[in-house]
Structure 1
Amino acid sequence: MISLLDPDNPEQPFPAVEKAEQEPDGLLAVGGDLSSTRLLNAYRHGIFPWYSSEQPILWWSPNPRTVLFPQRIKISRSLGKSLRNRDYHFSLDNAFAEVIHACAMPQPGREETWITDEMKQAYIQLHRLGYAHSAEVWENSRLVGGLYGVAIGRVFFGESMFSLTRDASKIALVHLAQILADKGFGLIDCQVYTSHLISMGAEEIERSYFCDLLQRFCSQSGYQGSWTGGIHAPRD
């Protein structure tokens, strides 16, 4: 039975992820709120919110889980050419609100968004608290791609990405993965399978192993320096 969460009790524990439904894969709980307390507790236990505007808040923990080990990022020949485009520049946390708004916009093949206004405000608040971060790709001075997610300890939980030009979101992920690898991060959570993430080195692992990795890496000290940064040169 899917658990109902009390919206007035953000510290309410989530049910064990092993209780998640097999169909739809990973549905664990319904309700609650998007307070920072509840969101951070969810991520630490391998759970994330995903729902549309006409639905209540739905909480998921699918099995298997798609992850990317930062040191294993793959750069195809065509992506390498895009990375060397001198008109592209990369930054961190320079435009968080703009990135999340862009991720919420309809895109080819995705006419509806799950990033509601409530969701936007929740993650902007996490950004203010120093947990949510964005990676941006600029063409000259125009924001053309990026992604955002949540960092706890040495884990980055990816949420969404967008691209207005060829490979822009992939460029953001490559830069971010290389920086996270340099900073000792052990894991990027990609949540669910997509072919383009798999092509970049992501892999599917059992949920139990994923939760073991969270217990290990989320408890480690996080990156203490400023995330805000300018141009970063990728390694081929």
Structure 2
Amino acid sequence: MDRSERYVITAETLLRAYAAGVFPMAETRDSNDLFWVDPEERGIFPLNGFKFSKSLYKTVRQNKFEIRVDQNFNAVMEKCAESTQDRPDTWMNEDVFRLYNELFEMGCAHCIECWQNDELVGGLYGVSLGAAFFGESMFSRRSNASKVALAHLIARLRLSGYCLLDTQFVTDHLASLGAIEVPRRTYHLLLDEALQVVTAAFYSDPTEEELSSELEAMFIQSRTQTS
């Protein structure tokens, strides 16, 4: 089928899909099509369950990275899509870039960026809907950069009144930080609850005092849970 003749997914369609509990992927960067995914076991990140190690909290406190929010969304996507030794290809194709940049322009997608010496060295991006945040992808070009980005994301979600952080799948890396799997039915119930919350709004610019206090609370909570 000619590309001009195939069904083109819109940003509005994508938001409806997220509300129904499914998300898109492509086979490769050069693929012309997307397929919908609704895993039997869904990855989520309990917002009170982040495993905040002493070394990671020290890195956060030392401000080794300059944290920027929603400053260069497409650059974060490009970094997430880059080939690595462990992942030679990506699920992010041309349609993925188009759709999520459209969601960003609509205020429905956000990114956390870690900068060092004016270089983008870590970050993540995802979609916001109701009190749910759907993490899409993350990358790290310096030690702990993606972990720092995740800690800052969770702090902002907690400050913003969110109740669900969807990770889609659980990798060993995410599991080491507190991500868990739940059955599809449980996930859909959690999603329905999150979508009913209309007061949540992504808090991209908390004060330094608010953010520092929330990160400290996350660290104390993590230490209490593991002691």
TM-score (norm 1): 0.81
What letter is aligned with 2:17? A
Matched, 1:68 2:71: no
Amino acid aligned to 1:41: R
| Alignment partners' CA distance in 1, 2:108 and 2:69 | 13
Post-superposition offset of 1:131 = 0.3
Task: Give, in angstroms, the shift of residue 203 of structure 1.
Answer: 0.7
Query: SS in structure 1 opposite 2:110?
Result: strand
What displacement does 1:210 show? 0.5
Q: Give 1:148's aligned residue.
A: 125
Q: How many Å apart are 1:33 and its aligned residue?
A: 3.4
| 1:187 lines up with 2:187 in the alignment | no
Residues 160 and 230 (structure 1 numbering): CA distance in 2 closer, same or farther, change over 3 Å? farther
Other-structure match for 1:39: 14
**3-state SS of the aligned residue for 1:134?**
strand
Which of 212, 225, 228 in structure 1 is aligned with 2:189?
212
Q: CA deviation at 1:42?
A: 0.8
Larger proportion of helix: 2
| Offset, 1:207 | 0.7
Residue number in structure 1 paired with 2:24? 49
Code of the residue aligned with 2:110 in structure 1: it is: H
Once the two structures are TM-superposed, the CA of residue 141 in structure 1 deviates from its matched residue by: 2.2
Measured after TM superposition, the shift of residue 85 of structure 1 is 3.4
Task: Out of 87-96 and 119-128, give the one that drifted further.
Answer: 87-96
Give the match for residue 73 of structure 2: 96
Q: CA RMSD in A?
A: 2.1
**Number of equivalent positions:** 208
Q: What's the offset of the Cα at 1:228? A: 5.0
Percent of aligned pairs sharing the same letter: 34
Q: How has the CA–CA distance of structure 1 residues 228 and 119 changed in structure 2, closer, same or farther, with 3 Å as cutoff?
A: farther
Map 1:115-126; keep pairs closer than 5 Å.
Answer: 115-126=92-103
Structure with bigger RCO (C-alpha 8 Å, 6+ apart):
2
Aligned to 2:222: none
Q: Which runs of 4+ in 1 moved over 6 A?
A: none
How many angstroms apart in 2 are the aligned matches of 1:222 and 1:39?
22
The whole-number CA distance in structure 1 between the counterparts of 2:123 and 2:207 is 14
- CA distance in structure 2 between the partners assigned to 1:66 and 1:216 by the alignment: 17
Structure 2 letter corresponding to 1:94: Q
Report deviation, 1:143: 1.2
Inter-CA distance 209–175: structure 2 relative to 1 (3 Å threshold): same
Gaps of 5+ in 2: 220-227
What residue number does 2:178 align with? 201
Task: Please report how far the alpha carbon of residue 229 of structure 1 lies from its aligned counterpart in structure 2 after TM superposition.
Answer: 6.5
- In structure 2, C-alpha distance between the alignment counterparts of 1:139 and 1:76, rounded to whole Å: 22
